[in-house]
Amino acid sequence: MNLLKKCCSCFRKKTDGTSTSTSHQLSHPTTDFKGQPRLPTFAVPIRYDIQLKPDLAACKFEGIVSIVVNIVADTRFIVLNAAAQLHINPDSVYFSDPNSNKVFEKPKVGKVEADEILVLEFSETLPKGTGVLTIGFEGVLNDKMKGFYISTYDHNGEKKNMAVTQFEPAYARQCFPCWDEPSFKAKFNITLLDVPSELVTLSNMPVDEEELNGNLKTVYYQESPVMSTYLVAVVIGLFDYIEDHTPDGIKVRVYSQVGKANQGKFALHVALQTLGFYKDYFQMPYSLPKLDMVAIPDFAFGAMENYGLVTYRETDLLFDDHHSAAANKQRVATVVAHELAHQWFGNLVTMEWWTDLWLNEGFATWMSYMAKDKLFPEWKIWTQFFDHESSEGLRLDGLAKSHPIEVEVNHASEIDEIFDTISYKKGASIIQMLKGYVGGPHFQNSLATYIKRHAWSNARTNDLWAVLKEECNEPTIDKIMNSWTKQEGYPVLSVKMKNQTLEIKQWIIPITYCCGDYDSLISLLMEKKSETYDIKDLLSNITDPARSWIKLNVEQIGFFRVKYDDGLAAKLRYAIEHKCLSVTDRLGILDDSFALCMAREMSLTSLLTFMAAYREELEHTVLSNLIKIIGKIERIVADARPELMNYIKQFFIGLLLPAVANFGWDPKQGESHLDAMSRGDIFTALAVLGHEETINEANSRFNAFLNDRNTPLLHPDIRKAAYVAVMQKVTSSNKEGLESLLKVYRETDLSQEKTRILGSLASCPDESVVYEALNFALSSEVRKQDAVFGLAVSKEGREVAWKWLKNNWDKIRTTYGSGLLLTRFVGPIVSSFASSDKMKEIGKFFGNRTQASMVRTLKQSMEQIYINSKWVQTIRNDKDLAEAVKKLANK
C-alpha cells in the first residue's frame, strides 16, 4: 500500500477548510541563487510522496509533498523549483531527520520568481544523508494547457471539466515543488484525494487501492520506478476505454470521450504491435506494468510521452473509419509510434540536460519510421522520410539563425525554443545517415547496448558516440558526428565532371554515388574539403543515355545538398523523365534544386525547366514535394513577376493533370494508401491554382455532402480539397460557401473534420473573408491549440493577415501566454513576405513585444523575409524567364 495512506487524515486536517492565508508572506528571496542555469546539487531527491486534492469545479488544487532527500554536502539551504503561480504555505515547510528524529522547522522561505526557484534557508546546518522535506502548496487549474490544467468537454449536452497535466519541459513546478530538471530522477508515490467517484483517475502507475467516501474517492497509485519530473502525469475526467494485452501481459488501454471508444481501435492495434517491435529491436522489454493512452480535447502538443500514461490530441490518437482520411491514419500511427519510442529513448534513458534534447526527439522520430515500416510495409514509409523529415530539416538548417543540434540551454525559459525542426527532423536525419554509414545490424546492436548501459539513468550525446565506437569498431564516429551536432548548417557538395573524373568539394562526410544504375553503388568517407574520383571504369561501357547519369547521396541518406554542373544535371533530368531513378532520388534532386534556386545558386528558369521532367510523376512522396514547391514558387512569382502568374499557373496545372487522370476523384478498389493520400493533395493544389474544372466538381460534391454527410461523393481523402475549392468562390458579397462550412464545423464532433475545415477557411482570395476567417480561428468556437490551423492564408490575404496579427497580438499573448503555441502565430504569417520594408515594419512592431520563447522563431522568420526579398530581385533580373515560362505553359 502507498505509505501516504497513513498520513491522509493528517493532510485533511491541515488543509480542509483552512486555505493558506495571504498574511503568510514569503521572506525576501535569497539572492545567492538568482540567475543560475541549473539547480545546486548539495541536496538530491530520491522519492516524492505527492498528495493532490483537485477541485475541478472551482479550477484549483491543493496538496502536500514529502520528498526523501539526500543531503550530500554541508548546507543550511535546500533549493528546488516552484513556479510563481504555485503558492507555498511557509508554516507547512519542515525537514525531518529520521536518524535523530529531529525536525527542522520554520525555515526562511524565499522565491526567485524569474528563475522559478524556491529557496529554503534553515537556521542550522542540515545533517548529511537522507531526510524528508515536507511542503504544503496551493495552485490554480489553469487554461494554458501546461502544468496542471483544465480541459473542457461536452457530456449529454453539459459542459464539463477534466484535469490534465503537461509537465514537459519544465512545468511540473507549476503543480508541486520539485527538482524540475531531467537529471534529478526519483521515484514517485502519487495519491489523489476527494475526487468525484464517477470520474476516471489515471497516473503513471496502476492503482494500488481506492477508498470510497460517499460520492468521493481517494486513489493511491503504486510507486513508480525512477523517472524525471517532466514525465509525471495525472488525468481526471469522464472517459470510455478499450483495452488489450501484449503477449507478455502488458495491459494497454486507449481512453477517449464517452461514445468515441471505437475510434481508439487503430491506435490500440498500433500500440500493441509497436511495443513488441521495440522490445525486440532494443532487446529490452517495456518497463512498466501498463500503458494508458488518453485523448485530451485541449492539448498544446501532438502528444506527450508521460511514462505509462501517454496523452494525445484527439486528432493524433482517434481514427474514424467513415470520416477520417488516409493521411489521418498515418498521422495516428506516426504519433503513437513516436511516443512509444520515448518509453525507451527518453523515459528509460533520459537526456542529462535539455542540450541533448535531440537524443529524445530525434531518436523517437527516427524510430517511428522503423516501427511504421515494420507494421505497414505497403506505406513505403522510408520514401516519405526525406520529404517529411530531411527536407524540412535542411530548410530550417539553411538559415543563419538556425542552431546546432546540441544547443546550450542556459535558462528554463529557453527550453521551448529548441522543440523545433532541428531537434526532431535534423536529429532523425543524421541518425538515418549514421545508420547508413555503420550498417543496420551494427547500429541496432549499438542502440541496444546504449539502452542497457544507461537504463534508469541519464545520458549525453558523447555516451552514444562511445557505444557506437565500441560496437561498430569505428574510432572516428565522434569526430565525424560532431560536425553535424555541434554546429549549425550542412554541406552543399559541388560536383563537376572533368575528363571522366568527379570533382567534389565540401566537409568531412560519408558519401555515396552511383553511375547509370544502382549496382555500381560506391560508399566512402570524404575526409578533405576537395576530392577527385576516377570513374573511367564505371563509364567505359555506357552508351545508353538512360544509363549515363551520376547520382550522389544515393537514396538521400546523407544530410546535405548536392549541386551538379550543367552537364550532370541534364543527364539527371533525362533519367528522371524516363523513370531511371528511384523514388527517393527523384525527390531528393527536386528538393535540392529548389533549395539552390532559393539560395540564388540556380535560376528560376532552370528550375522550372527541370520541373518539367516531373510531368508524368505519380509517386506520392515526389508529388507531395512537387506540390509544396509549386506553392512557394507561385507566391514568390506573385511578388516578383505578377505579369507571368497566368503562365506559371498554366504550367503547374499541366504538371499535375496527368496525376488527376490516373487517380480520379473516387477511391479505386485495392488502391494503395499512398495513392489515397495523393488524391487529396493534388485536388487541393489544383483548387488553389484556380483550376476551374476542379473547383466546380469539388463544389458539386460538397453540395451533395451538405445534403447527406455519408455520401460516397465526398470521401474523407478529398474533403480538404473540396473545402478549399468552396472557399475559392466565397466573396464578401457571397458568403454562402463559408456559412455552409461553418455549419459543418459546428455540427461535427470529429476533431479531424474541424481542423480540415479550419485549415481551409483563410485560403479564400478575398481579403475581407480572410480577416473574418482569422477572427473565427481566435473565437471561443475553436479550441486554443487548433487556432494555428486557421493561419493557412492565401497569397492574396497575406497583408490582411499581418494587420490581423498586429490588431490581435495582445489578445493572443494573453490567451496563450508564452511558449510554443505563441510562436506558432508568428512564423506562418511573418515569413511569407518578401520585402525589406516589410521586414523593418515587422521588426519595429515586435521590438518591445518579444518574449524569450519566440526570439529564435522571430529571427528565423525575419531571415526568411530577407532571403525572399533577395530571391525576388534575382527573379526580376532573370531575362530568360518570361519566354521560358510561356513555352512551358503552352506545352
Angstrom distances, CA of residue 512 to CA of 56, 103, 553: 59, 67, 5
Q: Are 860 and 868 in contact (CB under 8 A)?
A: no
Distance CA 347, CA 182 (A): 10
Using CA atoms, how far apart are residues 178 and 184, in angstroms rounded to an integer?
A: 9
SS3 content of the chain, % helix, strand, coil (to 5): 50, 20, 30
Sign of the torsion formed by the C-alpha atoms of 669, 672, 674 and 675: negative
Query: CA 384, CA 141: separation in Å to the nearest integer?
Result: 40
In whole angstroms, what is the distance from residue 66 CA to residue 176 CA?
10
How many CB atoms sit inside 10 A of residue 304's CB?
24
Which letter, b or e, does each residue of 29-43 get, where b requires 16 or more Cβ atoms within 10 Å of its Cβ?
bbeebeeeeebbebb
Q: Tell me, what DSSP letter sits at residue 81?
A: E
Classified as helix, coil or strand, 211 is strand
Pair 130, 46: CB distance under 8 Å:
yes
Residue 72 dihedral angles phi and psi, to the nearest 5° = -105, -5
Sign of CA dihedral 410, 414, 415, 421: negative
Please enumerate in sequence order all residues whose Cβ is within 8 A of that of 171, keeping only pairs 6 or more positions apart, or say none: 83, 146, 147, 180, 230
Write the CA distances from 381 to 268, 269, 560, integer angstroms.
Answer: 20, 18, 20
- Closest to 145 in 3D by CA, of 176, 173, 166: 166
Burial of 841 by CB count in 10 Å (0-12 exposed, 13-18 middle, 19+ buried)?
Answer: middle
**For residue 472, how many other CB atoms are within 10 A of its CB?**
18
Cα–Cα distances in angstroms (integers) from residue 72 to residues 75, 95, 226, 600, in the given order:
9, 15, 19, 59
Name the DSSP letter for residue 549: -
Number of Cβ atoms within 10 Å of the Cβ of 779:
10
Cα separation, 84 vs 326, in Å, equals 44
Q: Report whether 393 contacts 426 (CB < 8 A).
A: yes
Buried b (16+ CB within 10 A) or exposed e, 320-353: beebbbbbbbbbbbbbbbbbbbbbbbbbbbbbbb
SS3 430: helix
* Phi, psi (rounded to 5 degrees) for 302: -70, -40
What is the dihedral angle through the alpha carbons of 386, 596, 834, 810, rounded to the nearest 10 degrees? 30
Query: What does the DSSP assignment read for 441-495?
Result: HHHHHHHHHHHHHHTTEEE-HHHHHHHHHHHHT-TTHHHHHHHHHSSS---EEEE
Spatial contact of 372 and 337, defined as CB atoms under 8 Å apart: yes
Residues in contact with 696: Cβ distance below 8 Å, sequence separation at least 6, in sequence order: none
Residues annotated catalytic, as ranges: 339
Q: Is 199 helix (H, G, I), strand (E, B) or coil?
A: coil
Could you tell me the three cell numbers for 86?
Answer: 504555485
Looking only at the bridges linking them, the beta strands covering 187-196 and 240-245 are unpaired
Report H helices in 708-797.
Answer: 716-728, 736-747, 751-761, 767-777
